[in-house]
Amino acid sequence: MQQKTPPGTNYWDYIRVEDLLTLQGGMGRDESQLGNDEVMFIVVHQVYELWFKLVLRELTTARDLFMKEPVPDNELAAAVRSFRRVVTIFQQAVNHFQVMETMTTRDYLEFRDQLIPASGFQSAQLREIEILLGLEDERRVPLGREGSYKEALRSPDGSASVALARVETRLASGPPLREVLYRWLSRTPVDGPSDPQVVRRFLEKFVASMRGEIERRVQIALDKALTPADVERLRERYEAEVRHAEAFLLAEDDPGADEATREKRRAIRAGLVFIESYRELPRLAWPREILDAVIDMEQAMLIWRQRHARMVERVIGRRTGTGGSAGVDYLDQTALRYRVFHDIWAVRTVLLRKPVVPSIARAEDYGFRIED
């Protein structure tokens, strides 16, 4: 007997096209009253919110994975795929700003004032992405009106809103990715069992090797016939660089931190340096892919913020935002400051050339064999 197609299986019911097409009516809920620019403005925002929704799903899955102790090695590839999807989404989404840029300044001014005090600042899903990644509240740039970013999510009469509820739920939904990823990194066996003494010895050897590199660089400068005064200036810079690197690696860069916190930071930083420095060892292949994907992700988001600011500058210049911020100045600051994975960036300043990376005693522990 021929099988019947289950009812409801067609494009329009599955994709919910008719429902989707009723959502572009703006504040008056009547699309016929809106011009093409405003409908485009609404559609582009809706498209972004849908992308944000997917990003949140991927980040939640990855965060849940890194919450496990231990993190199952055979699931690392899935986390990399999640991060890569987030990167691809942001890279695509950044191009949607070009659609906005088909609108001239005067076209936009036709409907802009009615938007006050609404603003992209009230995108709860972007805030959720920041929270889930682990952006610290102290890093947030003040919007230029009273209270925290959460206050901006209240309704105009000061009451709670669906956007605020969304953000509160996210804040209560567990630790951010940064925290669990760093915890995982701190458990990296650094040339042996993860033990504070082993970690410290590894870091000290690493710093010693960095010191050795200074002489070589000074010699290069001399060979390039720089003046003695220039060479001296360079030497001072290199020495300051190593002092900074040492303070970073041995977690002496934050005098307020207690010893237990420092020990945790040393373990995270040693894990990072170890994975990056011996990235060709087979057992480090997936951890290093994780680090690359996380950097890609943060970079894609920074570029998204920066690109948004350039679009804004082009469309409205440097005027005050409808949300009450300084506009482009505010957005440019967020693009510089909103970083989450500081240590993964910072470790790039301290890595060494392959020939001078300290040798490790137990390289065979980090291999695997496919062939016999």
Residue keyed to tokens 């990003």 = 55
Residue keyed to tokens 């910072």 = 346
Other Cβ atoms closer than 10 A to 119 = 15
Among 25, 26, 120, 189, binds ligand NFK (CB under 6 A): 120
Q: Return the one option of ligand NFK, ligand HEM, none that residue 90 interacts with (CB less than 5 to 8 A, by type).
A: none
Residue whose CB is less far from ligand HEM, 287 or 327: 327
Residue whose CB is less far from ligand NFK, 269 or 308: 308
Among 86, 322, 330, 350, binds ligand NFK (CB under 6 A): 322
Between CA 60 and CA 256 the distance in angstroms is 32
Helix axes 285-316, 342-350, angle to 10 degrees: 110
Among 135, 327, 332, 344, binds ligand HEM (CB under 6 A): 327
Q: Return the one option of ligand HEM, ligand NFK, none that residue 331 interacts with (CB less than 5 to 8 A, by type).
A: ligand HEM
CB of 327 to ligand NFK, least distance (A): 6
Question: Residues 252-281 vs ligand NFK: string with x where CB under 6 A?
Answer: ------------------------------
Other Cβ atoms closer than 10 A to 92 = 12
350 a known binding residue? no
44 a known binding residue? yes
What lies within 8 Å, CB to CB, of 59 at 6+ separation is: 82, 86, 129, 132, 133, 177
Residue whose CB is less far from ligand NFK, 121 or 206: 121
244 a known binding residue? no
Buried b (16+ CB within 10 A) or exposed e, 38-70: bebbbebeeebeebbeebbebbbebbebbbeee
* Residue 135 is a binding residue for ligand HEM (CB under 6 A): no
Tokens of residue 23, six digits: 């959502």
φ/ψ bin of 328: left (φ > 0), alpha (ψ from -120 to 50), beta (otherwise): alpha
Stretch that binds ligand NFK, among 2-10, 165-173, 320-328, 349-357 (CB under 6 A): 320-328
Residues 7-66 that bind ligand NFK (CB under 6 A): 45
Q: Return the one option of ligand HEM, ligand NFK, none that residue 115 interacts with (CB less than 5 to 8 A, by type).
A: ligand NFK
Of 266, 230, 233, 229, residue with least CA distance to 250? 266
Residue whose CB is less far from ligand NFK, 198 or 302: 302
What lies within 8 Å, CB to CB, of 32 at 6+ separation is: none
| Residues at the interface with ligand NFK (CB under 6 A) | 45, 112, 115, 118-120, 316, 321-323
